[in-house]
Structure formats: C-alpha cells, structure tokens
Amino acid sequence: MNMNYLPIIFVVDVSRSMEGERMTSLNGWFHSFLSHCQHISECRDIMVQLAILSYSSGCKWMYNELIDWPLFEYKELSAFGLSDLGGALKTLNEKMRSFDEGGFFHISSKRYSTTTIIFISDGNPTDNYVYYLNKIKQNYFFKSANKIAIAIGNNAPIDVLEELTCKKEAILDVHSADMLFKPSMYLDTFRDDMPYYPEVE
C-alpha cells in the first residue's frame, strides 16, 4: 500500500516589523506545530511533509525540499529588512511543480493530498508583488492548493492576503501573539475530504 502525503508549505514574513514578541512567539509556535503534525498524520493516516519559505529583504527556504515531519529540524527565524512578497511568490512558483521540473512534487512515485499553503504576515509588501502573484495564479499546483493566511496585528495587509487566498474567509485575523500561536486553531484546515493529486498508478 502506497503512503499518502500531505504537503504543508509556510510562506512567512520575517521583515523588521516582526521583531520582538511576534518573532519569539512565531518560533515557539513552529516547535509546537511540529508536535501537532503527529495528530494530523494519525487522524488522516497520512505523512505530513513540511516546507518553510521566509521572506524579508530577499527570501530563503529553510530546506530546499519537502521534509517528512518527524525528520524536520526547525531552525529559528530572525526578523530584519523589508517585505519582499513578490520575491517569495517567484520562489514559491519555482517549487510548485513536479520534481522533474525542479519542483517539490515526486508525482511519478508519490500520492499527494492537496497542498496547504499558509501565509503569515503583519504588514504590506515593499516590492511589486502583483506581477509574480499573477504568474503563480497560473500554476496548477498553486491553483489547486488549500490556501489560508494569518494576519498579525492591526496593520496586517488584509487586502493582499485576500488576493493570495482568493477568499476573505480563509484569513485568520489575530491581534496578539497569545491569540495567534495555538496550533489547535489550524487543525480543521486539514480536512478529511481533501482530494488527492495526481493518482499514481
């Protein structure tokens, strides 16, 4: 019997406005989220795979591939610089494709549940993100992904996050670190009825 995989990709704003309590809470939350991956895996009989793309003045993958959650070693994030969302979308687009095309997905040998992408941000982009947003919206893996966003604080870019998720209901609007970083809040996001793609013979 083939293992089924659930990719969860985080796209995280680590610009200077995330300094202090927000970044401390974010790092703590990611450690907690890893333990909740066991619950998600057991409930759905599936292997959760993780990737984290952080962006500020530039962007960077924590690892250059999807990692099975038991093997994922979280590296603390730091806040600095601007908020280059466009660069992050360009980089994400390059990985939202098959492994043969330089992307994350081994579609010839693995069966994936619909990818979940979680955007986390507390402020407006500082680059021209619209061009790369329009490009990634043409990407099959992105279009079919389950997308949610976490808007942190009073200055979070709700309109931008709505463009990313395509629906306002997918935005979790929070105003304090205590409200935000409770992993149990996100378990309902990984639904039992999410489809698989593609079917592997």
Provide the whole-model pTM: 0.88
Res 194: pLDDT: 46
| Lookup result for tokens 């205590």 | 178
Which of 62-71, 86-95, 173-182, 184-193 is the least confident region?
A: 184-193
Q: Percent of the chain beyond pLDDT 90?
A: 58
On whether the 4-197 domain is CATH 3.90.1150.10, my answer is: no
Quote the pLDDT of residue 127.
94
Q: Distance between CA atoms of 180 and 121, rounded to whole angstroms?
A: 12
CA distances to 16, 17, 73, 159 from 63, in Å = 22, 24, 10, 29
Element (H, E) at 35: helix 21-44
- How does pLDDT run across 152-167, given as a tens digit for each residue? 988 899 999 999 998 8
For residue range 63-93, list pLDDT tens digits in order: 999 999 999 999 999 999 999 999 999 999 9
